[in-house]
């Protein structure tokens, strides 16, 4: 599913942030509930994690659309994964993925889970994340800006809708 900017949004000359906000609101209404996210740090430097917090807290405030951080993967629709998947976190990441109910979406946040970044081929890491669990959305950057993370959430919601439709057709 591609992102289409409705013509009225173009006419209104909305900023990127406002357009993202509208898109998230519309998609949340479409699925009829709030998407809950679980944050998984797999050994990041904390840079990406700070940007995730910025996306959720008052300046960007993704929570007002219902994008809520939850304390257990069993309650989550979306996993927000940062870091290069260190050896210590490897089994935990797999377990968290298994514990997250279907349909679920995995977002790789930052260069580390996307491709390994400076940890690529390190004997102590397992990046890219797609080597470990299936990844649905990539948000590049070191670290990515909160707007990019919100854009990732928009893509995740679109993929979640695709999966929900696929499930209802079975």
Contacts of 119 (CB under 8 A, 6+ apart): 84, 112, 125, 127
- Give residue number: closest CB to ligand SF4: 47
Q: Is 146 in the site for ligand SF4 (CB under 6 A)?
A: no
Among 1, 16, 142, 165, binds ligand SF4 (CB under 6 A): 142
Q: How far is 107 from 67, CA to CA, in rounded Å? A: 14
- Nearer to ligand SF4 among residue 100 and residue 117 (C-beta): 117
3-state secondary structure of 137: strand
Q: How far apart are the first and last CA of the chain?
A: 19
Piece in contact with ligand SF4 (CB under 6 A), picked from 8-16, 60-68, 109-117, 130-138: 109-117
Going by C-alpha positions, the residue among 1, 55, 20 that lies closest to residue 154 is 20
Residue 47 CB-density burial (10 A; 0-12 exposed, 13-18 middle, 19+ buried):
middle
Among 35, 73, 128, 143, binds ligand SF4 (CB under 6 A): 143
Q: Is 111 in the site for ligand SF4 (CB under 6 A)?
A: yes
- Nearer to ligand SF4 among residue 111 and residue 154 (C-beta): 111
- Nearer to ligand SF4 among residue 47 and residue 103 (C-beta): 47
Pairing of strands 78-82, 105-109: parallel
- Nearer to ligand SF4 among residue 23 and residue 126 (C-beta): 126
Contacts of 146 (CB under 8 A, 6+ apart): 51, 54, 55, 59, 60
Site for ligand SF4 in 26-65 (CB under 6 A): 44-45, 47-48
Helix (H) or strand (E) holding 145: none
Q: Is 127 in the site for ligand SF4 (CB under 6 A)?
A: no
Q: Tell me the closest approach of the beta carbon of residue 5 to ligand SF4, in angstroms.
A: 28
Chain contacts with ligand SF4 (rule: CB under 6 A): 44-45, 47-48, 82-83, 110-112, 117, 142-143
């Amino acid at each position: 599913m591609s992102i289409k900017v409705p013509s009225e949004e173009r006419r209104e000359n909305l900023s990127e942030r406002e357009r993202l906000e509208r898109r998230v609101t519309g998609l949340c209404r479409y699925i009829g509930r709030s998407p809950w996210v679980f944050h998984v740090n797999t050994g990041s430097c904390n840079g990406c994690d700070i940007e995730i917090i910025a996306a959720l807290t008052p300046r960007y405030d993704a929570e007002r659309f219902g994008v809520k951080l939850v304390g257990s993967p069993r309650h989550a629709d979306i996993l927000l994964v940062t870091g290069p998947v260190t050896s210590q976190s490897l089994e935990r990441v797999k377990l968290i993925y298994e514990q997250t109910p279907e349909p679920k979406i995995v977002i790789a946040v930052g260069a580390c889970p996307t491709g390994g970044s400076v940890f690529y081929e390190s004997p102590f890491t397992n990046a890219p994340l797609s080597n470990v669990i299936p990844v649905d959305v990539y948000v590049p950057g070191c670290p990515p800006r909160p707007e990019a993370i919100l854009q990732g959430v928009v893509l995740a919601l679109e993929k979640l809708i695709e999966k929900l439709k696929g499930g209802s057709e079975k």
